[in-house]
Every structure is written in C-alpha cells, then in structure tokens.
C-alpha cells in the first residue's frame, strides 16, 4: 500500500456535507436570462464577438480569448444578446464588470458540436488547442486557464499527474457528487490528460470522508491502464491546497515561489478533468458546472448542474431559499469563500458553492482583540508561515518584510484566523496586503515601461537629429565642392558667382555714381544691361543646344526680350552730350 504523508499544520473544522448529499445532481434548467462576465478566469478578460440583438445558439462562441493567459466564453443556452454592459459580478469587492447578457428563448438549441472520435489520433498540441477553445479554466476555484497549466514549462517533463478529489471546505460537495456519479467520465478525462502529458504515474487523491466517491473511482479505475492509483488519506483542512496535496501524496514540497511543474508534477481538479473529457469527446465547451447550494437558510440543500450566467437567486429559489433566516450569502465555503453583495450575481466558472447559512450557523465573528502571542496561528498554518508576524508587517505596511516572510506562499486558507483566540481576521490582512503589493508591482511595471518608452523616444530623436546634421554637412560639402570647381572654371558659368559679381558691380556703380555725371551713369547702366543681355542670350543658346525643357527656353526667351526692350528704352532716354 502506498505511503501517504502529512503536511505541517491544518485544522479539523466541523463538517456539514451530508445535507447536500441526500440527493443526486439536479439539472437547474434554463433561467430567463443569463449574465456572463467576460472575466471568469485568471488573466485577460475575453473579447466579445457578438453584438446586441444577435441571435446565439447554445455552445456558440460569444467572446474570444484575448492574450496568452485567457479563455473564450460560450453561450450557455440559445437566445438573443440583450446587452454587453457592466453588471454586478461575484467578487469580494462587490464591483461590477463587463458582461454579455443573453435573453434565453427557452429552446436551448445547440450549435453544431465537433468532438473527436479517438483522442489518440491527435497530437497533444491539437488537444490542448481544443481544451483552450472550449474555454476551460480550473473549476476548483482558482480559475487558471487549463490549457496553459497542461502545456507547462518548455522542456520540463511531467512525471506525476495528480487529480485533486479533495474537497476539504466544510460544506462543499460538488466534486464529491461528481466522483460518485461520473467516475467513468473522470477516468476518460484522465486518459486524455495522460495522452497529453505522458506522466509516469497518475495519483487521484481523495480524503477518507468520501467513501462512496473512493469506491466509485476505484471501480472505474479497474479497467484503466497501469500507473494509476486512487489514494485515500485522512481528512484534514486544507488538504485540497495544491501544495498540501502534493506533499500528502508524494512527500515532495513545492519550493517557495515555485510551481508544481518545477518538481515534475501537474495537478488538476476533478471537475476540470470532466470538462476536458466533454470538450474532447463531445466537442462541448464549458457552459455549465456543478454547484453546491447549501446552508440552513435553504430548505433542500443539494448539488445542481447549472448553466454559467444563471442568477444565484434562481438557484437559491430552486433549493427553497428562506431569506429571512439568512444573514449573509457566501460564494465558496466558510473558510475560503467570500460574502456576496447580492443574490442577483451570476454563477461563474469558479462558483463551486453558494452557502446560505443561518445566523446561528455562522454567526458574525466577535470583535477582534489584541494578539496574545499564543502561537496557535503558526501551529495551524499549512504553509509553515508565521501568521502573527505577517499580521504585524501587514498592519505596518512593511512590504519588504512581508515578502521576506513569504507572504505569497500563503494560500489564504484561513486556518490561522479560525484558530485565533483573539478573533483577528488575519487572512483578510494578507489578502489586502497581497492585493496592494501586486498593485504596486503593476504600477512599477507600468512606470518602468513608460520610462523605457521615453528613453527610446529620446534616443530616436537624437539619432534623427544626428542623421539630419550629417545630411546637412554632406550637402554643404557638396556645395563647397561645386563652388570650388566653378571658381576654377571661371565665374561666368557659375550663377552664384555671377550674382555676387553683379551685386558687386552694382554697388561699385552706385558708389561711383555719386561722383559721375548723368551721362556717365546712363552709359554705365546701359553697359550693365548689355552685359546681362549677352549672358542671357548665351544661356538661351546653350539651353537650345542642350535640348532643355520648353518652359525653361520660353522663360529664357522672355528674359532676353525684356532686356532688349530695357536697352532700347535706355538708349532712347540716354541724355545727349551738349553741343557748343
């Protein structure tokens, strides 16, 4: 029998799972309207490819992945796109975000689906593309795009595939019921993952508080290829954490800040594995999921297969919601879940549970007291952190110390808060600090990118100025060269030199004109005109001989004509010498 290991810390909160396991999975049906946030996964939100008023079919692509870490979105039922706009989403902040809203037509009519007859005929890359195109993100709660996780790091080989059948939150039973009812589909999904990853071993880890699920998996696994084991281990919270489960099943620890792939391991959630099977075998995109609806404020706790985008209020009503008994609604479990601002928000890919507890069942925590340094939080922490110290650093916003004390290894399991006798909401401080640090990193990256852009622009401006300067220098050198050549040849052919000489002559004439008689001035002017005429006639003759353009010749002829007329006028007006 395989040895199982233990991880540091952990707690044993009271279980409340039986309530929702008295019935099988129930189809929730089609509500009147579906609201689909464009971001139901980690990474860039999907980009709508439909317009308001457009008719869509069930399974049709309505938003495509944008960027590497992103997944597309599909219509969960047929109908008409009623809006693409901001709507409240299930998020701890209570924020709104962009959603595609579909008014369902009730026909639930499928778009054509294209599964593959035998996945073994397809390359792993082709199967990964199908998984990505089906919009599959981790259904365990994190929502990381599955195809990216399966693709792993280039060159890193996967020795162990771990299937996470652990469901340690006290109320959630969505995976438990799936293992009981669809163990065959889980094994079919695992076979596809084995074809993609070629691991040496596959370990399905399930806590021992799910004997029916373990039996169903073991029965289905009897026909599976060798190298696959269903491993039961003692129930403890939070065994479902990826790093904790890896340690339980293999004894290996994922290095701080590292990924399971760094030690040759990939983990996938049970629900995700079924979604992979549905995408490859049936060609069915991810448009629904199993969600537990439970708590003392619902009359009939149970698990639903629910279309994504279904209003939580619709699901709660199916389970016999009694709002008068409910103090707050929680998405997820009491340990890691968060309070919802409204029951109008939709079910999304990560909605594994809607918990409607009564006031006595989950009373509001009493006011926090001062830390008494009892150390219980450190004993409970499964990540071997020092929660009390992290708390001080978080309060003081000492970012560097938080990072030095491995804040980002915190899996936000809430075990420290659970055991704290002073009722300090420790995990909330860590969440806030992480968000702040990530925002700071993001801002720093943006500032760095802006700095690099600015420097590149400055460098380009300097380079362009240098190029312009070089061209100016080259033009100047060429002009000087031409001038030297013209000077050597004589100034007659050089129009610049000729102009300079004309100006010199004019100035000299003006200077000398002051002292000359009117007859002398007229004679000098006539002389100058005759010289210009001579040059213009010569230029015209050369132009004709060289076959220059017609318009140039016309202009030269006009100049010659004008000079002739000026000379004639000057000759006529010239003062006659006096006769005595």
CB of 415 to ligand SF4, least distance (A): 4
Contact 320, 298 (CB under 8 A): yes
CB of 123 to ligand SF4, least distance (A): 39
Q: Quick one: 355 or 377, whose CB is closer to ligand SF4? A: 377
- Over the window 255 to 284, marking each residue x when it contacts ligand SF4 by CB under 6 A and - when it does not, the resulting string is ------------------------------
267 annotated as belonging to a binding site for a ligand: no
CB of 423 to ligand SF4, least distance (A): 8
Those residues with Cβ within 8 angstroms of residue 80's Cβ, 6 or more apart along the chain or in another chain? 53, 54, 55, 56, 102, 103, 105
Q: Quick one: 372 or 479, whose CB is closer to ligand SF4? A: 372
Q: Is 416 in the site for ligand SF4 (CB under 6 A)?
A: yes
Q: Give the separation between CA 347 and CA 144, rounded to whole angstroms.
A: 17
Q: Is 11 in the site for ligand SF4 (CB under 6 A)?
A: no
381 annotated as belonging to a binding site for a ligand: yes
Those residues with Cβ within 8 angstroms of residue 461's Cβ, 6 or more apart along the chain or in another chain? none
Q: Give the separation between CA 414 and CA 423, rounded to whole angstroms.
A: 12
Angle at 85 (CA atoms; ends 313, 135), nearest 5 degrees: 75
Q: Is 299 in the site for ligand SF4 (CB under 6 A)?
A: no
104 annotated as belonging to a binding site for a ligand: no
Contact 323, 299 (CB under 8 A): no
Binds ligand SF4 by CB under 6 A, chosen from 166, 352, 388, 433: 388
Q: Quick one: 315 or 381, whose CB is closer to ligand SF4? A: 381
Contact 320, 345 (CB under 8 A): no
Q: Quick one: 294 or 417, whose CB is closer to ligand SF4? A: 417
Contact 182, 210 (CB under 8 A): no
Binds ligand SF4 by CB under 6 A, chosen from 137, 414, 532, 533: 414
CB of 411 to ligand SF4, least distance (A): 5
Q: Is 13 in the site for ligand SF4 (CB under 6 A)?
A: no
CB of 333 to ligand SF4, least distance (A): 14
Binds ligand SF4 by CB under 6 A, chosen from 148, 280, 315, 410: 410
Strand partners, 164: 205, 269
Binds ligand SF4 by CB under 6 A, chosen from 17, 387, 532, 540: 387
Q: Quick one: 47 or 428, whose CB is closer to ligand SF4? A: 428
Beta-sheet pairing, 79-88 with 55-56: antiparallel
Q: Give the separation between CA 110 and CA 76, rounded to whole angstroms.
A: 9
377 annotated as belonging to a binding site for a ligand: yes
- Sheet with 73-74: strands ordered across: 47-48, 61-64, 73-74
Type and span of the H or E element at 393: helix 387-395
Strand partners, 83: 101
Q: Is 411 in the site for ligand SF4 (CB under 6 A)?
A: yes
Q: Is 412 in the site for ligand SF4 (CB under 6 A)?
A: yes
CB of 10 to ligand SF4, least distance (A): 9
3-state secondary structure 163-228: EECCCCCCCCCHHHHHHHHCHHHHHHHHHHHHHHHCCCEEEEEEECCCHHHHHHHHHHHCCCCCCE
371 annotated as belonging to a binding site for a ligand: yes
Buried b or exposed e, range 101-137, using 16+ CB within 10 angstroms: bbebeeeeeebeeeebeebeebebeebbebbbbbbbb
- Over the window 352 to 381, marking each residue x when it contacts ligand SF4 by CB under 6 A and - when it does not, the resulting string is -------------------xxxxxxx--xx
Q: Is 402 in the site for ligand SF4 (CB under 6 A)?
A: no
Q: Is 422 in the site for ligand SF4 (CB under 6 A)?
A: yes
Q: Quick one: 183 or 424, whose CB is closer to ligand SF4? A: 424
Q: Give the separation between CA 189 and CA 246, rounded to whole angstroms.
A: 20
SS3 123: coil
If binding means CB under 6 A, how many residues of this protein chain bind ligand SF4? Answer: 30
Binding residues: 371, 374, 377, 381, 410, 413, 416, 420
Contacts with ligand SF4, residue ranges (CB under 6 A): 371-377, 380-383, 385, 387-388, 391, 410-416, 419-422, 424, 426-427, 430
Binding residues for [4Fe-4S] cluster: 371, 374, 377, 381, 410, 413, 416, 420
């Amino acid at each position: 029998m395989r040895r199982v290991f233990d991880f540091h810390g952990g707690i044993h909160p009271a279980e409340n799972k039986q309530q929702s396991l008295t019935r099988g999975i129930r189809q929730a049906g089609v509500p009147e309207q579906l609201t689909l946030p464009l971001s139901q996964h980690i990474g860039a939100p999907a980009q709508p490819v439909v317009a308001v008023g457009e008719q869509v079919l069930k399974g049709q692509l309505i938003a495509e992945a944008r960027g590497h870490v992103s997944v597309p979105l599909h219509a969960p039922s047929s109908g008409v796109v009623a809006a693409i706009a901001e709507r409240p989403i299930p998020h701890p902040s209570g924020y709104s975000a962009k959603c595609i809203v579909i008014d369902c037509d009730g026909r639930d009519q499928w778009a054509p689906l294209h599964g593959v007859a035998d996945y073994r005929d397809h390359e792993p890359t082709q199967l990964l593309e199908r998984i990505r195109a089906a919009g599959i993100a981790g259904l365990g709660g994190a929502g990381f795009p599955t195809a990216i996780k399966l693709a792993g790091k280039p060159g890193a080989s996967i020795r162990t595939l771990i299937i996470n059948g652990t469901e340690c939150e006290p109320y959630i039973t969505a995976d438990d019921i799936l293992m009981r009812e669809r163990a065959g589909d889980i094994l079919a999904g695992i076979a596809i993952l084995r074809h993609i990853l070629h691991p040496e071993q596959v370990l399905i880890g399930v806590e021992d508080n799910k004997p029916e699920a373990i039996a169903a998996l073991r029965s289905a696994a009897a026909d599976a290829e060798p190298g696959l084991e269903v491993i039961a281990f003692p129930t403890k919270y939070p065994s479902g954490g990826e790093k904790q489960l890896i340690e339980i099943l293999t004894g290996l620890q994922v290095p701080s800040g590292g990924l399971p792939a760094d030690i040759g391991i990939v983990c996938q959630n049970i629900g995700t594995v079924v979604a992979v099977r549905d995408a490859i075998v049936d060609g069915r995109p991810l448009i629904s999921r199993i969600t537990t609806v439970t708590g003392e404020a619902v009359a009939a706790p149970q698990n639903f297969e629910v279309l994504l985008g279904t209003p939580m209020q619709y699901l709660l009503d199916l389970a016999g919601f009694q709002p008068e008994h409910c103090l707050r609604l929680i998405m997820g479990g009491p340990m890691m879940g968060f309070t919802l601002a409204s029951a109008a928000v939709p079910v999304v890919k990560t909605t594994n549970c809607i918990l409607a507890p009564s006031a006595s069942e989950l009373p509001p925590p009493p006011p926090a007291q001062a830390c008494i340094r009892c150390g219980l939080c450190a004993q409970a922490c499964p990540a071997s952190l020092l929660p009390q110290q992290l708390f001080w650093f978080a309060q003081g916003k000492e970012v560097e110390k938080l990072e030095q004390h491995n804040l980002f290894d915190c899996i936000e399991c809430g075990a420290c808060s659970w055991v704290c006798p002073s009722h300090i909401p420790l995990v909330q401080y860590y969440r806030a600090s992480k968000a702040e640090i990530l925002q700071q990193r993001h801002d720093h990256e943006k500032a760095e990118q802006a700095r690099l852009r600015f420097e590149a622009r400055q460098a380009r401006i300097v380079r362009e100025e240098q190029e312009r300067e070089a061209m100016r220098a080259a033009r100047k050198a060429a002009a000087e060269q031409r001038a030297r050549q013209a000077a050597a040849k004589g100034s007659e052919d050089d129009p610049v030199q000729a102009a300079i000489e004309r100006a010199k002559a004019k100035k000299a004439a003006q200077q000398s004109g002051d002292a000359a008689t009117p007859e002398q001035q007229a004679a000098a002017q006539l002389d100058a005109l005759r010289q210009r005429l001579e040059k213009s006639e010569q230029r015209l003759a050369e132009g004709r001989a060289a076959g220059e353009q017609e318009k140039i010749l016309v202009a030269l002829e006009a100049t010659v004509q004008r000079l002739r007329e000026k000379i004639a006028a000057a000759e006529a007006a010239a003062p006659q010498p006096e006769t005595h």
